[in-house]
């Protein structure tokens, strides 16, 4: 029984007598130097890519931290708003409401009036 009857191979490796015997094997000689150079280039590319990603990530995270966490911009705005609000609570002025006769009085004076009204 020949291997042609089983259909397990192609004719790419079949040679005629005119080609000469013995035949050299296909891909039997591998250029290890070329493979080593290719491997080194691939390895260098991967290492450079990983280093580039790490540096980019660190720089991005540093920028986000500086912008959102480590700056005082939000604290400065919040402290200014708090100071304005506390100043309004200690002074007379318009309440900002459309209701006629509505006014703002200092909070300590308002507290005393409420205590007097409900303390009786």
Q: How confident is the model over 22-34, as pLDDT tens digits?
A: 766 766 678 889 9
Query: Taking all residues of the chain, what is their mean pLDDT, rounded to a whole number?
Result: 81
What is the pTM (predicted TM-score) of this model?
A: 0.39
> What do you get for the CA distance between the two ends of the chain, in Å?
120
The secondary structure of residue 70, as a DSSP letter, is: S
- pLDDT, tens digit (0-9, with 9 covering 90-100), for 37-65: 999 999 999 999 999 999 999 999 988 88
Handedness of CA 8, 13, 15, 20 (dihedral sign): negative
Question: Structure tokens of 19?
Answer: 């080609």
pLDDT for position 47: 98
Handedness of CA 113, 114, 116, 120 (dihedral sign): positive
Helical H segments across 65-102, by residue range: 73-89
pLDDT for position 17: 73
DSSP bridge pairs for 94: 103
Most confident option among 17-31, 32-46, 76-90, 104-118: 32-46
| Res 108 pLDDT > 80 | yes
């Amino acid at each position: 029984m020949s291997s042609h009857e089983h259909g397990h191979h192609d004719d790419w490796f079949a040679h005629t007598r005119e080609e000469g015997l013995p035949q050299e094997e296909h891909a039997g000689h591998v250029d290890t130097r070329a493979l080593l150079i290719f491997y080194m280039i691939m390895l260098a590319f991967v290492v450079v890519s990983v280093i580039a990603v790490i540096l980019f990530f660190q720089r991005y995270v540093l920028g986000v931290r500086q912008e959102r966490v480590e700056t005082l911009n939000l604290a400065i705005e919040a402290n200014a708003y708090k100071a304005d609000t506390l100043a309004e609570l200690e002074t007379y002025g318009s309440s900002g409401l459309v209701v006629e006769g509505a006014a703002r009085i200092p909070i300590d004076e308002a507290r005393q009036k409420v205590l007097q009204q409900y303390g009786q």
